[in-house]
Amino acid sequence: MNELSRLTPPRGGGVKERKRVGRGQASGTGKTAGRGGKGQKARTGNMNFIGFEGGQMPIQRRVPKRGFSNPFRVEYAVVNVSDLQRLETNEPVTLESLVASGRLKDHRDGLKILGDGELTKPITVRAHKVSASAREKIEKAGGTIELIAAPPRKTPQQRKAEEKAAEAAKNPKAPLR
């Protein structure tokens, strides 16, 4: 195990100092500051970033992109049975109560209970999904499970149609777009 008191510089010396360019001819990197004479690479703003190919279309833009990110994917906030064991409350365990207690960072799309760990006390759980092993352990400890039906996800087209319908209902005399 390394300790601060035992740290030593690497063999051959410690940290190399940064080369200060453009500090006079005697420094060895004066005048042109190591860039040579004239040309694109001697100029400031010379486009020397990673992936630059001299103006040719870079390979990361030439290669076709693959894959797909599903915008309607459902991601659950996952909690194990061992996490439920550590809770000190007698109230039902819900997604909101777990976020309020700091056990979860955000709501995601629902709560899923997994069966890792052991449970000894009876506890009431309100979740969107429960694994078979978690269900078995919670019921074995004398607890109950209430499954919550997640509201169906709406596509952007459905959302827009609903907004139009609501607007039309609010202003019956307004012309339709």
Query: What is the pLDDT, as a whole number, of residue 177?
Result: 59
Phi, psi of 111 (to 5 degrees): -115, 130
Distance CA 99, CA 108 (A): 11
Best CA proximity match to 142, nearest among 126, 125, 129, 158: 125
Query: What is the pLDDT, as a whole number, of residue 16?
Result: 80
Look at the pTM and tell me if it is higher than 0.75.
Answer: no
Distance CA 83, CA 92 (A): 14
C-alpha distances in angstroms, 93 versus 26, 52, 98, 111, 114? 74, 54, 7, 10, 14
Token pair for residue 33?
């500051």
Strand partners, 77: 111
Instruction: Please identify every stretch of the chain with a pLDDT value under 50, giving residue numbers as ranges.
Output: none
Contacts of 175 (CB under 8 A, 6+ apart): none
Pairs from 51-57 (Cβ < 8 Å, separation ≥ 24): none
Q: How many CB atoms lie within 10 A of CB 21?
A: 14
Query: What is the pLDDT, as a whole number, of residue 172?
Result: 76
Distance CA 145, CA 125 (A): 5
Query: What is the pLDDT, as a whole number, of residue 1?
Result: 59
Contacts of 122 (CB under 8 A, 6+ apart): 141, 142, 143, 144
